[in-house]
Structures are given as structure tokens and as C-alpha cells.
Amino acid sequence: MATDDTADLIDKAAANLGLTIAPEWKPNVQMFFEVARGMARMIESTNAVTAAEAAPVFTPRSSE
Amino acid sequence: MSTLHSFASARTIANAVLRGETSAEEITRAALDRVAEQDGAIGAFTDITAERALEEAKAVDRARAAGAALGPLAGVPYAVKNLYGVTGLATRAGSKINAADPPAHADALLVSRMKAAGAVLLGALNMGEYAYDFTGENAHYGPSRNPLDPTRMTGGSSGGSAAAVAAGFVPVSLGSDTNGSIRVPAAFCGLYGLKPTYGRLPRTGTFPFCDSLDHLGPFARSVEDLALTYDALQGHDASDPVCARRPVQKTSPEIAKGGDGLRIAVAGGYFRNDAEPGALAALDWAAKTVGAVDEIDVPQVAEARAAAFLITNAEGSALHLERLRKRPADFDPDTRDRFIAGAMIPASWYVSAQRFRRIFESTMAELFERYDIILAPSAPCRAPKLGQKTIVLGGREVPLRANMGIYTQPISFVGLPVAAVPVRESDELPYGIQVIAKPWHEHHCLRIAAVLEKASAARG
């Protein structure tokens, strides 16, 4: 995704989430989002998406 | 004034109180005086609970006078990161926003357990906002300063917890560690720290950051005090759904057993790539000291760190979404922009990271079939200067905040227990070593930490 698209995504996501981002915060927000995207690409390059049960398995509790 | 010096150990204080050589009140008053006189230059405390401390100390003294059994931490002053609930105090969690919350109506469970052990709470400690921090800096309350060199960072986010112990205000403190927030400050301030197995200590009554990765644990100036404190904290609590139903496993009786029978390896590859030469020399010294010969290359560590980053970013941002909507300008700018970005992370990134956690857990479990302990650096460098924004690692200038946890994040990602051990040559600032064990084997971490502590003392 190109940088311009990221800026657009952030604007639209902020509107959807009800977040107000001051203009001077945007470069940092965009930078952090791009860092996260790079991290996600690393994970997606493994076989994690299909190969494993997600870690937070829910265990129902009983009073018995 | 107490006849005990300000750097007396918790064990020494508890024994002196038990034998009637000093009173808990005398110890407490001396500790409160030290904080009043010196903390202005350190910035460890955000709240001082003097009245409560004196009440708790007098209760210990009354119990002794009545011939009642005293707890293992009788009369020992301590303090807690300000994300722990303390009755009567707003649980700041390092923020300006939470400071306006109503005061906590109950203590965090671990504070209650410290009280039951006879310890005396002096107050709540500075931290990076909402624990999203490796520096110990805070835009609202000022930085916690490193007592070894007040122009330098304590590390974070449990910066005040490390500063209070390193300054000699208290012999032990409690912090939290989601990605390295006990281990990095312990390294920078020359302390011992314990990040127990994920799920070992109940988080009941503490303000969260990232449920999937949050751990609580102690700081101390010695392994003996670390074990003593950790033992007082253990025990299941059903109110924290993550807390495991494990029996209490006392570690104090274990620490003198040495390293005999433990198979120890050194983490290479990723863990050597970006560290300063001094950090690697500290690691090599530790390896030689405990007789570790094998160097192992842990697969997919960078991916593990990436997954920890995403889970933290997504969960932390979801936690603070309403605050980000209503009061974004009241956040520390160093956390706000990361939280806003994290609120926009697609669910698929987060779920993939959680799936990768299962894969990396298996990877580490296979390694721990061959070894009982793995040694790794705690941080790639010594304590940076306060205000420093970048650092040169591996020949590249990189953002400091994002890179102080490169060696700790992959380990807490899969919940392994770690003792943080300082390594220091003469008057130089320390480096830190992680002594990592398989889940539920904190006693192994502490045994090796004790071996390194003894060797450090012999080295001078």
C-alpha cells in the first residue's frame, strides 16, 4: 500500500472510530501504522494464519 | 534514625525487626525521611503513603510485642508501580487522565499479600504512561532518573520501581512487565528483577495494559530479596482468569543450590546482532561463569517480537479507545500516536499474531527439551541519556523507544519466566542479562541468578 493510501486509510478509520487526529499528530500515527504493517507482513510470511490455534483459548469456568 | 544503613537488605531488616534490634516504625521513619530528602532529584515516587506506612509499621511492632508470628517481610519498606491499586489513591497508571479517577477502594491483591507478609507500603511509583514505554520518561510527572547517573534513563515502564530500589529508598518494589518493563529497568539500574511465568502471579486490582502479555513481578538488590518477595506474592486467584491453578513453589530454599544439573545455553543469532560490544561481553562473561558452552540460534525470534508488538498495539489501543476519543490531547504524546495507530489495526493482523504465539511457544518448548536455561541480553545497550530519541545499533541509527525491548519482547511473548541479572564492571554503568527458563521454573532462573551474583561479587 502506498503512503498516500495509508494517509487516506487513517483519515477514514479515524472517522469510523470517532477519533480526532490533530494535523501535527498525523505523521507519527502514519509512521506507527506503517511499522505495524511491516510487523504484520513478517507474521503473514510464516504459516501462522492456518497452522495454529490462536493463543488466547477460552476456558469456561464452573463453580463445581 | 535506624541503625541499619539505607541499602540494608529486606532479609536483614526483617531479621532485625524479628529480633527486636530495631522497630518497624524506626525503619519506616528512616525510609520516609530518605524519600523526602532525596526523591526530588530522582523522581521515583508519585504518591507517598506516610500515614499508612506508619500504621502498618506500628501494627508489625504491636504484633511482635504481643508475641505473634511475624511475616517474612516484617517491617520491610516497599513501594509499587502506580498501576497497582492502593486504597485511597487514584490508580494513575502513569497518566494524567486516570489521576482524576476516584481513589481505589481496595488494594491490588499483591499489595494485600505484601501487607500480610509484614511489608510496609511507602507509596506509589512513577512509570511510563499506561506502561507503553521502555524509557521511564513521563510527560506528566517528569522522568524517573537513574540513581547510578541521574542524567540517564531508568528504563521503563517500571522506571520508578527500579529507581526507588537503586536509590536505596526501599530494598524491594513491585512492577509490571508486558514486553520488558521489569527487565529493561533492572538492567539500566543495576538490579535484579523477576518476570515470572505468564499466569503465575494474579493481576487482580492492577490497571491493565495488554491482557495477553501482562505480568507482575518484583525488583530487588539481591537474589535473596527477590526470592523472598516473590515467595510472598505467589498463590492462585480466580478473579484473574489468566492466573494458573499452580501450587506455591517457594524459591528461597532453592537459590543456594547452584547450577549443578542445569543444562545452560546462550542465545546467539538475533540476540547478538544489534547489541553493543559491552552487552555481548557481559553475556559472554555470564556464559563462562555458569559453564554454558552451546550457543543456539532461536528460530523466528524477529517474528515473535513482531507478533508481540502487534498484540500489544492492538490490545492496548482497544483498552484506551474511549480515552483516545474524548481526551487525546491529555495523553503523553509519546504514547498517544502509537495508541491511535493501534486502534486501526485490522483484526486479521492481531489474530495472526496470536496464532504465531502458539507456534513460537512450540519452538521454545523444543529448545527447553534440550536445555534448562537460556541466557540472553536484557537490552542492547547501557542506560541512554534522558531525552535521547535515537540510538545506534548494529551500525544503524534507530528510534530508541522502539528498540530497547528487542531482546525482552520475544521472551515475554510466550510467557517464559526470566530473572534479570545486572552485570557491572567497577564503576561503569551496568548491562543486563536475561536468565530464561521453561514455564513454571522460576527457581531455575533464581538459582542461576544467584550463581552470577556470587561471581559478580567476587569480581568486585
Calculate ∠ Cα B346-B350-B353, nearest 5°: 140
CA-wise closest residue to B3 among B71, B122, B17, B123: B17
A16's enclosing H/E stretch is helix A3-17
B181 given a catalytic annotation: yes
pLDDT category at A48 given cuts 50, 70, 90 is confident
With beta carbons less than 8 A apart as the criterion, state whether B122 and B152 touch: no
The pLDDT score that the predictor gives to residue B402 is: 84
A4's enclosing H/E stretch is helix A3-17
The pLDDT score that the predictor gives to residue A3 is: 62
pLDDT category at B91 given cuts 50, 70, 90 is very high
B344-403 pLDDT per residue, tens: 999 999 999 999 999 999 999 999 999 999 999 999 999 999 999 999 988 899 989 889
| Chain B environment of A22 (Cβ under 8 Å) | 328-329
Asked if residue A57 has pLDDT above 70, the reply is no
Q: How far apart are CA B394 and CA B377, in angstroms?
A: 15
- State what percent of residues in chain B have pLDDT above 70: 99
The pLDDT score that the predictor gives to residue B438 is: 97
- Asked: is B10-233 a CATH 3.30.70.1280 domain? The reply is no
Give the residue carrying C-alpha cell 500515614. B51
Q: Where are the domains of chain B?
A: 10-233, 263-459
A18 CA to chain B: closest CA distance, Å?
Answer: 6
The pLDDT score that the predictor gives to residue A53 is: 79
The pLDDT score that the predictor gives to residue B394 is: 86
- Cβ separation A32–B338 shorter than 8 A: yes
B175 CA to chain A: closest CA distance, Å?
Answer: 24
The pLDDT score that the predictor gives to residue A55 is: 75
- Cβ separation B355–A42 shorter than 8 A: no
Coil, strand or helix at A53: coil
Give the residue carrying C-alpha cell 529497568. B185
Asked if residue B177 has pLDDT above 80, the reply is yes
The pLDDT score that the predictor gives to residue B380 is: 97
Q: What is the mean pLDDT of residues B217-235?
A: 98
Omega cis (within 30) before B378: no
The top-level CATH class assigned to B263-459 is alpha beta
- Cβ separation B358–A22 shorter than 8 A: no
Q: Of these residues, B95, B158, B173, B181, which one is catalytic?
A: B181
Q: How many CB pairs under 8 A join A and B?
A: 123
Q: What is the mean pLDDT of residues B72-93?
A: 98
Asked if residue B147 has pLDDT above 60, the reply is yes
0.95 surpassed by complex ipTM: no
pLDDT category at B457 given cuts 50, 70, 90 is confident
Asked if residue B266 has pLDDT above 70, the reply is yes
Tell which wins on pLDDT, B102 or A51: B102
The pLDDT score that the predictor gives to residue A61 is: 67
B107-121 pLDDT per residue, tens: 999 999 999 999 999
pLDDT category at A1 given cuts 50, 70, 90 is very low
Asked if residue B299 has pLDDT above 60, the reply is yes
Sign of the C-alpha dihedral, residues B8, B41, B179, B350?
A: positive
Nearest CA in chain B to A36: B310
- Phi and psi dihedrals of B121, rounded to 5? -80, 120
Mean pLDDT of chain B: 96
Q: What is the mean pLDDT of residues B170-182?
A: 98
A5 CA to chain B: closest CA distance, Å?
Answer: 14
- State what percent of residues in chain B have pLDDT above 90: 95
Q: How far apart are CA B334 and CA B323, in angstroms?
A: 15
Asked if residue B178 has pLDDT above 50, the reply is yes
The pLDDT score that the predictor gives to residue B124 is: 98
Tell which wins on pLDDT, B427 or B19: B19
B400-451 pLDDT per residue, tens: 988 999 999 999 999 999 999 999 987 799 999 999 999 999 999 999 999 9
Direct distance between the N- and C-terminal alpha carbons of chain B, in angstroms, rounded to an integer: 30
Q: Of the candidates B302, B325, B358, which has its C-beta nearest A18's C-beta? A: B325
The pLDDT score that the predictor gives to residue A49 is: 73
The pLDDT score that the predictor gives to residue A47 is: 79
pLDDT category at B1 given cuts 50, 70, 90 is very low
Q: What is the mean pLDDT of residues B133-154?
A: 98
The pLDDT score that the predictor gives to residue A2 is: 47
The pLDDT score that the predictor gives to residue B234 is: 98
- Cβ separation B352–A9 shorter than 8 A: no
Q: How far apart are CA B411 and CA A26, in angstroms?
A: 32
B81 given a catalytic annotation: yes
